[in-house]
């Protein structure tokens, strides 16, 4: 049986983790990144353009910053859609705007290809260990094609079918992520101002109401103010902005997520956009 082959476009932290994990699981990986040096840093087959990558792989993963980046990769000169799209499957792990993702489904379908939105829950550590949660929307046949790759990347997969639904639910999930992080950061800052040292406060939270997977993942970062990014403040700000657009479309108010979005906006404005989203603690502490 021939080994699995995949293309990957976008070698930021998550894209690099995906490429490394798939390569380690025996997948032949072809990659393109706007900064080509990132591809040469990995033990993968580098491609000069997205179109060249499409000529080498039928299953192509996207791991990009936002919907504008996805549209550019699809439609730019020598982009994916400048190549023959028939029989190609684009698996988009980007957290997109819920409206744009519908257009991406149409763009691929019109060209004879297929598009599967597959936003990921989890950051680079779960990606490297194959324990991501993967949400997927699109044709079931596309999901079946992608499943052997998903099984190497994730420990939980949810096929949601309806185009756009996976993206909408990923945005709702990030309501919890952003609001939890902002609450932990505010509680920690307030505890310190009330006279408690940071390490003791974090231990109390871990053994009380703050006990959570998120606190467990971010405890050392908060303790040491190590904000090397696993998930950037700029990404959280972008996702919560998309979520506000979704709430407006649904004609429903958005309470905690709106406050969290403004806190991450403040973090970005103070230069923390490229830092881990736990750096919102420092922003809150310094008010």
* CATH number of the domain bearing residue 234: 1.10.1040.10
Measure the N-to-C terminal CA separation of the chain; round to a whole number of Å.
60
DSSP per-residue letters across 197-254 = -HHHHHHHHHTTTT-SHHHHHHHHHHHHT----SSBHHHHHHHHHHHHHHHHHTT---
Choose one of 162, 193, 216: the last residue of a domain: 162
Residues 149 and 179 grouped into a single domain? no
Residues 157 and 185 grouped into a single domain? no
Range of the domain at 268: 168-285
Q: How far is CA 258 from CA 50, 118, 198, 242, in A?
A: 36, 25, 27, 11
Structural domain count of the chain? 2
The whole-number pLDDT of residue 1 equals: 65
Choose one of 140, 162, 184: the last residue of a domain: 162
Residues 137 and 187 grouped into a single domain? no
Cα 135 from Cα 198, distance rounded (Å): 36
Residues 181 and 136 grouped into a single domain? no
Residues 195 and 180 grouped into a single domain? yes
Q: What is the CATH number of the domain that holds 137?
A: 3.40.50.720
DSSP per-residue letters across 114-126 = EEEE--EES-HHH
Residues 13 and 155 grouped into a single domain? yes
Residues 86 and 213 grouped into a single domain? no
Structure tokens, 88: 């190609």
Cα 79 from Cα 87, distance rounded (Å): 16
Residues 267 and 157 grouped into a single domain? no
DSSP per-residue letters across 137-180 = ES-HHHHHHHHHHHHHHEEEEEEEESTTHHHHHHHHHHHHHHHH
Q: What is the pLDDT along the chain (287 residues), one digit of tens a residue?
A: 678 999 999 999 999 999 999 999 999 999 999 887 777 778 899 999 999 999 999 999 999 999 999 999 999 999 999 999 999 999 999 999 999 999 999 999 999 999 999 999 999 999 999 999 999 999 999 999 999 999 999 999 999 999 999 999 999 999 999 999 999 999 999 999 999 999 999 999 999 999 999 999 999 999 999 999 999 999 999 999 999 999 999 999 999 999 999 999 999 999 999 999 999 999 999 98
Name residues whose C-beta falls within 8 Å of residue 78's C-beta, 6 or more positions apart in sequence.
49, 50, 51, 52
Residues 122 and 252 grouped into a single domain? no
Name residues whose C-beta falls within 8 Å of residue 240's C-beta, 6 or more positions apart in sequence.
174, 175, 178, 257, 258, 260, 261, 264
Residues 136 and 111 grouped into a single domain? yes
Residues 139 and 20 grouped into a single domain? yes
Place of tokens 């353009």: 49
Closest CA to 166 of 101, 230, 110: 101
CA atoms within 13 A on the CB side of 251: 0
Choose one of 162, 197, 214: the last residue of a domain: 162
Structure tokens, 267: 């973090």
Residues 17 and 138 grouped into a single domain? yes
Closest CA to 100 of 240, 219, 246: 246
Name residues whose C-beta falls within 8 Å of residue 150's C-beta, 6 or more positions apart in sequence.
118, 134, 136, 157
């Amino acid at each position: 049986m021939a080994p699995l082959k995949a293309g990957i476009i976008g070698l930021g932290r998550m894209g690099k983790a995906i490429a490394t994990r798939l390569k380690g699981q025996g997948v032949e990986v072809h990659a393109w990144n706007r900064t080509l040096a990132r591809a040469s840093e990995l033990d993968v087959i580098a491609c000069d353009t997205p179109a060249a990558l499409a000529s080498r792989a039928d299953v192509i993963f996207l791991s990009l910053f936002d919907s504008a980046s996805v549209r550019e990769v699809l439609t730019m000169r020598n982009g994916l859609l400048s190549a023959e799209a028939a029989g190609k499957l684009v698996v988009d792990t980007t957290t997109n705007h819920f409206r744009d993702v519908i257009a991406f489904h149409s763009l691929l379908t019109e060209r004879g290809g297929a598009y599967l939105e597959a936003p990921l829950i989890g950051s680079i550590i779960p990606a490297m260990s194959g324990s991501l949660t993967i949400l997927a929307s699109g044709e079931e046949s596309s999901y079946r094609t992608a499943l052997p790759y998903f099984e190497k990347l994730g420990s939980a997969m949810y096929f949601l079918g309806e185009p756009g639904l996976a993206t909408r639910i990923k945005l709702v999930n990030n309501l919890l992520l952003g609001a939890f992080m902002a609450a932990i950061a505010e509680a920690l800052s307030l505890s310190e101002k009330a006279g408690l040292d940071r390490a003791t406060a974090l231990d109390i939270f871990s053994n009380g109401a703050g006990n959570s997977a998120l606190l467990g993942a971010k405890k050392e970062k908060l303790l040491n103010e190590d904000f090397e990014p696993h998930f950037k403040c700029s990404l959280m700000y972008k996702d919560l902005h998309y979520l506000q657009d979704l709430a407006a479309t649904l004609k429903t108010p958005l309470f905690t997520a709106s406050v969290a979005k403004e806190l991450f906006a403040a973090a970005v404005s103070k230069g923390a956009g490229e830092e881990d989203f736990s750096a919102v603690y420092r922003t809150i502490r310094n008010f």
